[in-house]
Amino acid sequence: MTTEAQTACLTRIVDDLAEQGWSLQPQFLSQSLTTALAHECRKRAAQGALTPAGVGRGNQQQISEGLRGDHIQWLEPGDSSSSDVYLSLLDELRGVINQGLYLGLEDFEGHFALYPPGAFYRKHLDRFRDDDRRTVSAVLYLNEDWQAEQGGALRLYLKDGSQRDVLPEAGTLVIFLSADLPHEVLPASRERLSLTGWLRRRGNEPW
């Protein structure tokens, strides 16, 4: 169930995507939910469940610390009540985007990501590098009291040629069209946690 405020937020995201190809929602989730998700991400890290992220698709995957230095673990339905709340919100968003923009989004895949201090992710496009079904990227940040001088911004390269830096502050959600916006993660002086995912449309495999 979504509240009226959440529904209004989802509508703003759709309007922003239509107008500018991206949207920033600084308080997408309640503090209690982001705290629970941050706790879960740290617990998984302590258990050794997060593994170095690869670059590329399927069996072309390679670990390349020169391109990205985060450690990830994919989310599965039923992992925890807090991640299930997030998955259901993203499913709601998927429906609202489909109604407004006819993108034919079918599902969501997402992972926890932990960037150790100094780690980064070089400038890239989500669609072409990893998966051509990825249509809308959604990054939720889980870091309390993030300060600009700690680095770690997501730098978006916008269509008008300008850049926009987003700080990974807890509760902030950034959404963008995966094929359109190159972006990078700048190194930070502290650990940086997020829950990153993609709304995907059907692939056009011939089988």
Nearer to ligand OGA, 100 or 158 (CB): 158
Nearer to ligand OGA, 94 or 134 (CB): 134
Facing residues of 4 across strands?
none
Task: Say how far apart CA 75 and CA 171 lie, in whole Å.
Answer: 18
Secondary structure (3-state) at 154: strand
Least CB distance from residue 126 to ligand OGA, whole Å?
A: 5
Given candidates 17, 41, 136, 154, which one binds ligand OGA under the rule CB under 6 A?
154
Nearer to ligand OGA, 95 or 118 (CB): 118
Given candidates 40, 120, 196, 199, which one binds ligand OGA under the rule CB under 6 A?
196
Task: Say how far apart CA 5 and CA 12 lie, in whole Å.
Answer: 11
Task: Say how far apart CA 198 and CA 106 lie, in whole Å.
Answer: 11
59 secondary structure, DSSP code: G
Is 194 a binding residue for ligand OGA by CB under 6 A? The answer is yes
- Residue 196 binding result from Mn ion, ligand OGA, none, given CB thresholds of 5 to 8 Å by partner type: ligand OGA
- Residue 194 binding result from Mn ion, ligand OGA, none, given CB thresholds of 5 to 8 Å by partner type: ligand OGA
Task: Say how far apart CA 70 and CA 119 lie, in whole Å.
Answer: 6
